[in-house]
Amino acid sequence: MRGRIAAMLAVLCATAAFAADDATWPPPAPTQDRMHALQAVIRSPESTMRQREAAREELANLLKSPAGRGRETPAEQRKVPPARAAIEPYPSVVRPLPPIASSVPPAKGVAHLEALPAPKPPAMDPRKGSVLAPAGPFAIDPSTGAVLHEVPGGYVDPRSGRFVPGAGR
């Protein structure tokens, strides 16, 4: 039982120690007169909304303890902080090129040039020196009549597995 009472006294003493300054009440006469004037402004039907709000804020500041005076007013507490600047989370690595303006085609009857893709050189069998005749995805060796299959970079003879470099895919 004594331990509990000692704990309660310790808590009360600690709480009293946190109160750094004592509130003096009633406030001095000039402060009381200002409070009555502010209350009259709040009650008055002739006062505008801004006057009432300013009177409320000043009265709230006067009612605070001396340690709390001059801190943020309720209006300042209600204000929304300004928005932060937008920041790109990842900087763009490559910026796309602007669209290339296409040239206007010439009128009918006017001479013009068209660029064609370069022709593929003919595939040649390096052993025999013969030119292979391409036929779609295949090539035919005219000397033997063998059908070669197209692969990247040339042709392959399926019977022997021999690779013939040329203009394949």
**Tens-digit pLDDT profile for residues 49-92:** 999 999 998 888 888 766 556 666 666 667 777 777 666 666 66
Asked if the structure places residue 14 within a domain, the reply is: no
Structural domain total, the chain: 2
What's the predicted TM-score (pTM) here? 0.32
For residue 110, being part of any structural domain is answered with no
Q: What percent of the chain has pLDDT over 90?
A: 12
Q: Which of 31, 61, 78 is the last residue of a domain?
A: 78
Domain that holds residue 31: 23-78
In a domain, 112, yes or no: no
Helices (H), the chain: 2-18, 29-43, 49-63, 74-78
Domain end (from 13, 43, 78): 78
Question: What's the pLDDT band for 118 if we cut at 50, 70, 90?
Answer: confident
Cα–Cα distance, 169 to 155 (Å, whole number): 9
What amino acid is encoded at 70 in this protein?
Answer: G
Residue 5 lies in a domain: no
Residue 36 lies in a domain: yes
- Let me know if residue 72 belongs to a domain: yes
44 within domain boundaries: yes
pLDDT of residue 2: 62
Beta bridge partners of 147: 140
Note whether residue 107 is domain-resident: no
Mean pLDDT of 98-127: 79
Crossing angle of helices 49-63 and 29-43, in 10° steps, is 150
> Rounded to an integer, what is the distance from CA 54 to the centroid of its chain?
41
Among 78, 108, 123, where does a domain finish?
78
The rounded percent of the chain whose pLDDT value lies above 70 is 70
Tabulate helix, strand, coil % of the chain (nearest 5).
Answer: 30, 10, 60
31 pLDDT higher than 70: yes
Q: Which residue has the higher pLDDT, 59 or 17?
A: 59
